[in-house]
Amino acid sequence: MKRIKIEDEIKLKIVEFLAFDLKDDVEIALYGRKSGDYLNISREWLKDRGEAARKIVNVCGDGVTEEELRYFMKFIHKIATFDGEYRFLSNFYEPSPVIWNGITFNSVEAAYQAAKSLDINDHVRFSTMSASFSKKAGRQLKLRPDWEEVKYSIMENLVRKKFQNPVMKDKLLATGHSYLEEGNRWNDTTWGVCRGEGKNWLGTILMDVREDIRNGNN
């Protein structure tokens, strides 16, 4: 698995987090901030110390995997709601045109709701709706038989289309390595997180898209 070389500032934050998190489980010395040498850890001391200890060994090695970096950033720097300056991360952000099945929608949300139906007339109708109205109208649609099997891939496809726009792409890249979480108050524990519980599928898709853009794969 590809390993990511991370900036010294992030490395130091990770080490400081783990030093606090592990407390007496591991001895950590922070030193030489200007030189970039932040770790003085005995691998023997870390042996059999659990998941966090394994991760910190990786930090002082040849970088971290994307999965490990997300684990750390969830605690170190998390964008916890898609509001304010981060409103653009929301599926309700408008205008943010996406083309799906040859039809242009004003937002990811409107296109996603339209995708619940196999009727082209519904698709055309939803293309003129606002994001918020499309969500309400989507509850009235007759769901396509395979909706539960295809809804994640449809969402991912739509989000990728949204961030093909150069301006939107730059906005997403500007979030750096921050952990992206769609915190909400409306009990969505599938696409987001509510009261600390949720799968955060939308946040995961956004981080996947960001990683692919960074690597030139989107």
Residue type, 147: W
Boundary of a domain, candidates 76, 106, 124: 76
**116-151 tens-digit pLDDT:** 999 999 999 999 999 999 999 999 999 999 999 999
Does 199 map to a domain?
A: yes
C-alpha angle 53-54-55 in degrees, rounded to nearest 5: 90
Q: Backbone phi, then psi, for 4, in 5-degree steps?
A: -105, 125
Encoding tokens for residue 179?
A: 């952990």
pLDDT on residue 3: 75
d(CA 155, CA 100): 11
- 29 plus 55 within the same structural domain: yes
Indicate whether 185 pLDDT > 80: yes
**60-90 tens-digit pLDDT:** 556 677 887 888 888 888 999 999 999 999 9
- 67 plus 131 within the same structural domain: no
Q: Within a 10 A sphere around the Cβ of 17, how many other Cβ atoms? A: 16
d(CA 31, CA 39): 7
Rg, C-alpha atoms of the chain? 21
pLDDT on residue 36: 39
C-alpha angle 182-196-193 in degrees, rounded to nearest 5: 25
d(CA 73, CA 163): 22
Does 2 map to a domain?
A: no
Tell me if residue 78 falls in helix, strand or coil.
strand
- 195 plus 104 within the same structural domain: yes
**11-64 tens-digit pLDDT:** 767 766 665 555 444 344 333 333 334 344 444 444 444 455 455 545 555 667
pLDDT on residue 145: 97
Does 3 map to a domain?
A: no
Q: Which ranges in 139-200 belong to alpha helices (H)?
A: 147-162, 166-173
Specify which residues 105 forms β-bridges with: 98
- 123 plus 161 within the same structural domain: yes
Give the rounded distance of the alpha carbon of 5 from its chain centre.
Answer: 19
User: Where in the sequence is the domain holding 115, given as residue range(s)?
Assistant: 84-214
- 31 plus 56 within the same structural domain: yes
- 88 plus 192 within the same structural domain: yes
Indicate whether 200 pLDDT > 50: yes
Between 215 and 38, residue with greater pLDDT = 215
pTM of the shown model? 0.80
Encoding tokens for residue 100?
A: 């799906």
- 55 plus 102 within the same structural domain: no
Boundary of a domain, candidates 57, 76, 95: 76
Give the H/E segment covering residue 116.
none
- 45 plus 132 within the same structural domain: no
- 119 plus 54 within the same structural domain: no
Q: Within a 10 A sphere around the Cβ of 59, how many other Cβ atoms? A: 21
In 3D, which of 194, 193, 201 has the Cα closest to residue 151? 201
- 69 plus 126 within the same structural domain: no
**Domains in the chain: how many in total?**
2
- 64 plus 89 within the same structural domain: no
